[in-house]
Amino acid sequence: MTRSNRTDDAVKDLVRQHWNDRAATFDDASQHGIHTDEQRERWLSVFREWTGDDPLRVLDVGCGTGVVSLLLAELGHDVTGVDFAPEMLERARTKAERVDRSVAFHRGDAESLAVPDDAVELLTARHLIWTLPNPGAAIDEWQRVVEPGGSILLIEGYWDHDEPWDEYEAIHDELPMYDGRPPADLREFLARNGLTEIEHEPLSDPALWGREPHYEYYVMTGTVPR
């Protein structure tokens, strides 16, 4: 992998531009939005299984249009969503108002969060880590904001696209986890960066994605050491 002389800020500007441009139509794809009662119930079941029954303080990083944030709020958790793309956040806020969910959405950088230490019990991120120029720094930052003994829950996948597209043509070489990773690789990465008790489960049910999954999707959790 070849790194250019482009700064991390320049890389992030292109990432933000990409997701701002996609915000208006992002939820239209069956694998991104929630389109049926069956899909919604299936995702609620996944999050219920991995978060338990007790309400938690949750930070949803890279929340996008608020899909995961709103599902977690529906389960009774106290959720805050953070994203780098303001257009995504506007859609998240509109959706929260429409379904009368009390979720706070803020603009923020996943690698440098304006959140106090030990502020939440659970941090979630869906299909985010591949977009980050410094994923190891992000894991450190996420552990900072999660209280000891709390969890980081990732919805991830391995896409292995033939070619990068749009802004990613220019920056994919500067994203160490571009295209995602197989679960064994991500497990090793999380362990190397300090998480313990790492578990994962495939997310291969077509009901979750509104179609037969084209790629390898999974949920993975790790515990922040005490």
Could you tell me the pLDDT band of residue 160, with boundaries at 50, 70 and 90? Answer: confident
Side-chain half-sphere exposure of 141, counting CA atoms within 13 A: 18
Q: How far is CA 67 from CA 32, 94, 157, 220, in A?
A: 8, 12, 17, 18
The encoded tokens of residue 27 equal 């939820």
Average pLDDT over residues 144-159: 98
How much of the chain exceeds pLDDT 70, in percent?
98
Q: What is the predicted pLDDT for the residue at 162?
A: 83
The per-residue pLDDT for 5 is: 59
Sign of CA dihedral 52, 55, 61, 62: positive
pLDDT digits (tens, 9 = 90+) for 39-56: 999 999 999 999 999 999
CA distance 149 to 115: 18
Say yes or no to pLDDT of 1 above 60.
no
* Predicted model pTM: 0.96
Structure confidence at residue 101 (pLDDT): 95
Q: pLDDT per residue over 174-210, tens digit each? A: 999 999 999 999 999 999 999 999 999 999 999 999 9
Residue 4 has pLDDT above 60, yes or no: no
pLDDT at residue number 2: 43
Per-residue pLDDT, 86? 98
Average pLDDT over all residues of the chain = 96
The three-state secondary structure class of 142 is helix
User: pLDDT over 90 for what percent of the chain?
Assistant: 95
pLDDT digits (tens, 9 = 90+) for 82-98: 999 999 999 999 999 99
pLDDT band at 225 (very low <50, low <70, confident <90, very high): very high
If residue 153 lies in a helix (H) or strand (E), which one and from where to where? strand 146-158
- Cα(198)–Cα(223) distance, integer angstroms: 7
Strand order in the sheet with 57-61: 104-107, 78-83, 57-61, 120-126, 146-158, 216-223, 196-202
